[in-house]
Structure 1
Amino acid sequence: MNRGILWGLAIAIHFVVSSSFAESIFIDPEDGYLDGSRWLLEHSGFLPVPIIITEPAVGVGGGLALVFMEKNKDAPRPGHFSPPTITGVGAFGTDNQSWGGFGFYIKNWDQDRWRYMGGVGYASLNLTFYGFGGFPGVDDLKMDYNLKGAFLVQDLRHRLGESNFFYGGRYLYSDLEAKFEGDKPEFLVDKAIENRNGGLAILGNYDSRDNTLSPQSGLLSELRYYFFSENFGGDLDYNLGAWDTQGYFKWSEAWGASARLLGKWINGSAPFYAKPYIDLRGIAKQRYQGDYALSTEVELRWRPHPRWQYSVFGGAGKAVTDTEQISDSETAGTYGAGFRYLIARLVGFQMGIDIARGPDETVFYIQAGTAWF
């Protein structure tokens, strides 16, 4: 599930055969509001999800995903949220001729002691390479290219005893080709243009969030370190590290806040599109790249009603090719506002809209669940 997915609030109207059916399935008897929990969990229903893409890196577009949720049959851990099993397939296209298809599966079992996530897909994306650093006056390079190929991700982790600590691994594989409209940049070797990437990551995290879909309280802190190598099915040897920390704070039923600190670093002969980048709402993906990237974002939430939530947020980030440049490098700042609607109360799943302003443009996002993945 990603930030480009929207379930329109009127979706129930198209899938009901009578007003009584709609009232019994899509109206929550607890508060009388539109809700998809019972259709998804009790009737093995699928969610036909229109995909609305507003990511500036690939343009404006859309598609369709079918998302299936199944109630976790395990007895829940006392005092903990029991995530549903989620299966989905979908396809998309945008106005700059980018397109793709994907499938994913997410499952927790043994009272959330084991967590699995897998995905596969194929995409053709028309992107722009701005060089490393990417700030005006630092590097004026701007070259359009197409990145096409298949990808696979497998992620398995296990809870340490009865704690909130997890350990595990993740495998990434991609077979990609990058084609520039003109001559490729001179500093890119052939292997950076067409290659396979096979990487195995060791990871550890702490996760005390009250909900993995749309958290309101708790802490997530995860450290991942990837080893990309020919031994894992790739053509290139390089390492990639990431440390992602997210805190969610609930001061009262109406007020709360959240904050994120994301750092990524890389070394070795990595392809240019794998370089870390500033990851903030309001900035196109891969707009500011380097060997090191740091992004931080804070958000203030107001929830006047259990179904509705409003927020304001702001962030800043840096991308550099050398750690010695961090203090002197430019900072990219963003700010914005958004809202969420609790569309599936029994699983705590929210959907909504964010509007963010970055250094170059104003961006409109359709959000499904948390904005931070």
Structure 2
Amino acid sequence: MRRLLFYILMLSCSLSVWGQSKDGAIIRSDTLKSGKSLKLIGIPVIFSTPETGFGFGGGGQLFITGESNTFGVRKSNILFTGIYTANSQIVLQALPQVYFGEGDYYLDGSYEFRIYPNKFWGIGNNTPDTNEENYDMTSHKLRVDFLKRLPPSLNFGMRFNYEYHELTEVEEGGLLDSGDIPGSEGAIIVGLGAIFNLDTRDQVEDPKGGYYVNFNAQFSSKNFGATYGYNRFITDLRAYYPLGEKGLLAARIYVENNYGDVPFQSKAQFGGGNMARGYFQGRFIDDQMYVLTAEYRWRFHPRWSLAAFGLMGEVSGINQEFFNNPKFSTGGGVRFKILKKQNTLVRLDVGIGEAGNSGFYFGVNQAF
């Protein structure tokens, strides 16, 4: 039963594995094949979010174990996963991370293919529930970051981004069917960006202290073949303060700003298990967004802990409209450290928002 439970809990949560695996949401299971320079590890995947329902799948992670660099356990690798959800969503993803030389330079990339039924309520901070409509979209997303590392904590570099979104089905007579919503006829997004981050956390899965400071700027340009031209700026600030021997206060400030002709696929999305628990991811979308989150974590056992959080945030067409009608959410949950000598944990959270919005989230590692 203990081995069965271990494999059931082997997951790589949808939000973390789908685009945030660089935050460490990888659970390593049995080694499938190992040699002097390569090591292949199997990764079962299960999760649950309001956006997907129950989801399952699997994949693997291939490590180049023969290399050595100044960052020790950080090895070049490629993570690949495939998942299917109760909402008939299919996601295939490959995430390479390649270190060059002594590790002073590295490539961090992702490719994702999605067949993804989803929901849409319109654009703005006050869209009514009666606007809800379903749509299906097929997407290809490619991101390539080339970064310079300055030990021990600083990273900076450039990003190339390509996205292709095709709406395959929309509700007749709905908002997306009208053709008035940017991106409702599909979207191609192509552009470059710049990245800067400072990371002093002791670990990424379940930090016990330190700071994470991330700034990135990117654009989509019709000169590169994009159908929409716009600029995006993201600020992501996180801090972790120990409170006694068992407590920790974690805080996060996230701000996203988009300027220009922004399709709905690229607008800031309020909600989701990592950003704004208690709201469906994308329940409110617009060009600008902020989310402020505080969470208290209490470890009452070496492998068990509890958490309680509160957050506020909103979306808007312009920053000057912020704080006019913020959305609030509270909640909490339990975390379990799967292995004594591994930091990876599983998380079960409930978030309760306003106006009947709520959600249960089963995934990997802390929300931030």
* TM, length-normalised to structure 1: 0.79
Partner of 1:182: 172
| Matched-pair identity in % | 21
Partner of 1:241: 233
Is the 8 Å Cα contact of residues 49 and 67 (structure 1) preserved in structure 2?
Answer: no
Aligned residue runs from structure 1 range 1-373, under 5 A: 9-11=5-7, 44-52=39-47, 54-68=48-62, 73-74=67-68, 76=70, 82-108=73-99, 113-135=104-126, 140-160=130-150, 162=151, 164-178=153-167, 179-183=169-173, 185=175, 186=178, 188=180, 192-278=184-270, 279-343=275-339, 345=341, 348-359=343-354, 360-372=356-368
Provide the rounded CA distance (Å) in 2 between the counterparts of 1:13 and 1:320: 38
Q: Number of paired residues?
A: 339
Q: Deviation of residue 230 (structure 1)?
A: 2.5
Letter in 2 for 1:143: E
Q: Over residues 316-344 of structure 1, what are the superposed CA-to-partner deviations in whole Å (9 max), with x where a residue is unaligned?
A: 11111222321322423232222131437
Q: Over residues 172-192 of structure 1, what are the superposed CA-to-partner deviations in whole Å (9 max), with x where a residue is unaligned?
A: 211111231213534626754
Is the 8 Å Cα contact of residues 303 and 340 (structure 2) preserved in structure 1?
Answer: no
Gap change, CA 1:334 and 1:274, over 3 Å in 2: farther
Is the 8 Å Cα contact of residues 74 and 109 (structure 1) preserved in structure 2?
Answer: no
Gap change, CA 1:75 and 1:92, over 3 Å in 2: closer
What is the DSSP-based 3-state SS (H/G/I as helix, E as strand, rest coil) of the residue aligned with 2:223? helix
Letter in 1 for 2:276: L
Q: Deviation of residue 108 (structure 1)?
A: 4.6
Is the 8 Å Cα contact of residues 182 and 262 (structure 2) preserved in structure 1?
Answer: no
Q: Over residues 112-162 of structure 1, what are the superposed CA-to-partner deviations in whole Å (9 max), with x where a residue is unaligned?
A: 53343211121111111111224365x8532221121211111222124x4
Structure 1 unmatched ranges of 5 or more: 1-6, 15-34
Gap change, CA 1:371 and 1:317, over 3 Å in 2: same
Q: Over residues 238-276 of structure 1, what are the superposed CA-to-partner deviations in whole Å (9 max), with x where a residue is unaligned?
A: 111111111122345422221111111111111112111
> Which protein has the bigger strand share?
2
What is the DSSP-based 3-state SS (H/G/I as helix, E as strand, rest coil) of the residue aligned with 1:281? coil
The range that moved more, 291-300 or 183-192, is 183-192
What is the DSSP-based 3-state SS (H/G/I as helix, E as strand, rest coil) of the residue aligned with 1:264? strand
Q: Deviation of residue 193 (structure 1)?
A: 1.9
Q: Deviation of residue 167 (structure 1)?
A: 1.2
Gap change, CA 1:62 and 1:350, over 3 Å in 2: same
Is the 8 Å Cα contact of residues 72 and 85 (structure 1) preserved in structure 2?
Answer: no
Is the 8 Å Cα contact of residues 36 and 344 (structure 1) preserved in structure 2?
Answer: no
Provide the rounded CA distance (Å) in 2 between the counterparts of 1:345 and 1:209: 18
Provide the rounded CA distance (Å) in 1 between the counterparts of 2:245 and 2:102: 28
Is the 8 Å Cα contact of residues 29 and 43 (structure 2) preserved in structure 1?
Answer: no
